[in-house]
Amino acid sequence: MSVDPTLAVIVVAAGDGTRLLAGRPKALVPLGGVTILERALTSVFAMRAPAQVVVVAPPSAVEETRSLAERVAGIASGLLHVVPGGTSRTRSVRAGLDALLPSVRSVLVHDAARALCPTSLLESVADAVRSTGEAIVPGLAVVDTVKEIDDRNAVVATVDRERLRAVQTPQGFPRDLIERAYADDGAERTDDAATVAAIGGTVRIVAGDERAFKITTPWDLRRAELLVSRSDLRTGVGIDVHAFSDIGTLRLAGLEWPGHAALAGHSDGDAVAHAIVDALLSAGGLGDIGSLFGTDDPRFAGASGEVFLVGAVEVLAAAGLVPVNVAVQLIGNSPRFSPRRAEAEAQLSAIVGAPVSVAATTTDGLGFTGRGEGVTAIATALVRSQAGALLE
């Protein structure tokens, strides 16, 4: 990719994860189906502007780290660099700084262990660095009462928590400032802002995000797993209705039905396929079939339901979502659906890339479907983020 980015994100992923008790480097521990590293990188690569991404890998797992990172980067892999880390966090950050491209002017240093950090926080810190030219650190207000103690665990004083902030990553810096800080200061410090402050740099706080907590202990990992399991799945509903027509061949549920009256519509009138499209788009919050494939577009005149299903899956993928399953209820007197149910479900499942089940019923002669004037299809869809499905 021929891009000269002015922003770089150094993702520190070289920790051994001893306190996590997982038996392998922390960044490579699974979290909701993918690794902690992949979760962190998904937010990084979703940033608006292209950025160089430097992943500082565990020295013993550089190639594994590279493979995982390249899978998340996709077409942006030209901006990805993976380098081995050092024996301490400070040395790992230095390794990341050494890999920066000449065009980079602003640097974010981010811990892979803050795997659920949203893209919005990365953008906020990067914007603040560009606008102020200073070091920027996200922080949260301290809600607990904080006590100062002596070496006998006796309370000495109550600290004014109004002036305290619990800091997070990403921490952002002008490139020249952080490179100078790491060149001039050889001390091991707990964060990069402290290294910059040690040489007299100004560090300012912006609002942090509760989701950017650090995964350090098994309890932290369990908390992250619960959050991922709740946020990955989304549901949607779609309904489509078509009247029968005297012209053409019936297409329904992805199949042709010779000898039956066709369904009227700008396209092929496949109510089952169209209901599935609306359910998938609804689950992704991506509009509906009319807004994406309008009836005023001649490309879709007479188009098969497969065209719209493939298009909906592609739109979901562009939004970072994949189908999990779809269920459809077909309502009408004709055609008799059960003899071809398995065939229809196999056809639709292959197109959608996830299980599709179809049930059929009648309305006992009530309404337009009961009078044999047309059919109704009602679909529900479940989708999830691609990050939650990468390893399946």
- Is 249 annotated as contributing to ligand binding? no
| Alpha-carbon span 157 to 18, nearest angstrom | 33
Tokens of 155: 């309370």
- Is 241 annotated as contributing to ligand binding? yes
- Is 274 annotated as contributing to ligand binding? yes
- Is 36 annotated as contributing to ligand binding? no
- Is 240 annotated as contributing to ligand binding? yes
- Is 362 annotated as contributing to ligand binding? yes
- Is 184 annotated as contributing to ligand binding? no
Give how far the C-alpha of residue 236 lies from the chain's centroid of Cα atoms, to the nearest Å.
18
- Is 266 annotated as contributing to ligand binding? yes
Rounded to a whole number, what is the distance in angstroms from the first to the last CA of the chain?
28
What are phi and psi for residue 378, nearest 5 degrees?
A: -120, 125
- Is 260 annotated as contributing to ligand binding? no
- Is 151 annotated as contributing to ligand binding? no
The one-letter amino acid at 137: V
Give how far the C-alpha of residue 80 lies from the chain's centroid of Cα atoms, to the nearest Å.
18
Give how far the C-alpha of residue 59 lies from the chain's centroid of Cα atoms, to the nearest Å.
27
- Is 81 annotated as contributing to ligand binding? no
- Is 246 annotated as contributing to ligand binding? no
- Is 169 annotated as contributing to ligand binding? no
CB hemisphere CA count around 251 (13 angstroms): 19
How many C-beta atoms surround the C-beta of residue 293 within 10 A? 19
Give how far the C-alpha of residue 118 lies from the chain's centroid of Cα atoms, to the nearest Å.
9
Cβ atoms of 8 and 107 within 8 Å: the answer is yes
- Is 242 annotated as contributing to ligand binding? yes
- Annotated binding-site members: 240-242, 266-267, 274, 288-290, 361-364, 368, 371
- Annotated binding-site members for a divalent metal cation: 240, 242, 274
